[in-house]
Amino acid sequence: MKMLKKLTFGALVVLLPLSAKAAIPGTTAAADSYEITVTKVELCRTSACAAPYTLGSGNKTFDISSATAGADVGQYISLEDIPLYQTWSHVRVTISTTISIKGQGTDNAPQACKTGTGLASGAHTAVGTGVVAVGAGTLQSLVIPNDNVGGLATADYTAFNFAKTAGAATATITYALSTPYTCKGTLPRIEVKFNTSAALGLVQTGAGTCGVFPRPPDVTITATDP
């Protein structure tokens, strides 16, 4: 699902390129709902993010498949007090490692697989339990697995600039702006495009069973002069 939203931010940033997704096994499916909790958004001068500027903080859940996601994010962050004439090169987002997703597709068996309300989330050491059946999935709470857990033995999140301590409740994602941004007093107008068409992961876990897990969505943020 692709949709365009607007909020206040600077520069152009492409989050989670499709090429990086090859590092995660299994198949993909569209996430009809993708509810993610953000706890902090920061601007950084370097990839190490040693002295970030906080754009927004506090727990806030967004369904990025929703048409109102851009407006909701716009209320969460603020650039009004950003220091002038300093150049920012990266953005860092802190998220909860538990994400609620709804979707259905075909795993690598191949067999029909979908999310199911109330089924196991997978914790941090295994993928969530999916439903082997045709039809629409229902909203299921899923945990982003640790690297190299059962069912995802070759998973590697490095290409996502994704940092998660095994078993942690939160994780960070840091991305380079395609062009460093310097605020000179006029805030740009920007458009945000979320793509959740491959944000649900599906994997065969045994004979007649399947697992489900969150995959990162694609997010593109483009700034233009007001």
88: which strand partners? 181
Distance CA 20, CA 217 (A): 11
Higher-confidence residue of 223 and 148: namely 148
Look up residue 38 and give its two tokens: 């953000």
Rounded Cα gap, residues 195 and 197, in angstroms? 6
Under 8 Å between Cβ of 210 and 137: no
pLDDT at 188: 59
pLDDT value at residue 73: 72
Tens of pLDDT, residues 117-151: 999 888 788 889 999 999 999 999 999 888 766 56
Rg, the chain, Cα only: 18
- pTM of the full predicted structure? 0.82
The overall average pLDDT reported for the chain is 80
**What pLDDT is recorded for position 158?**
65
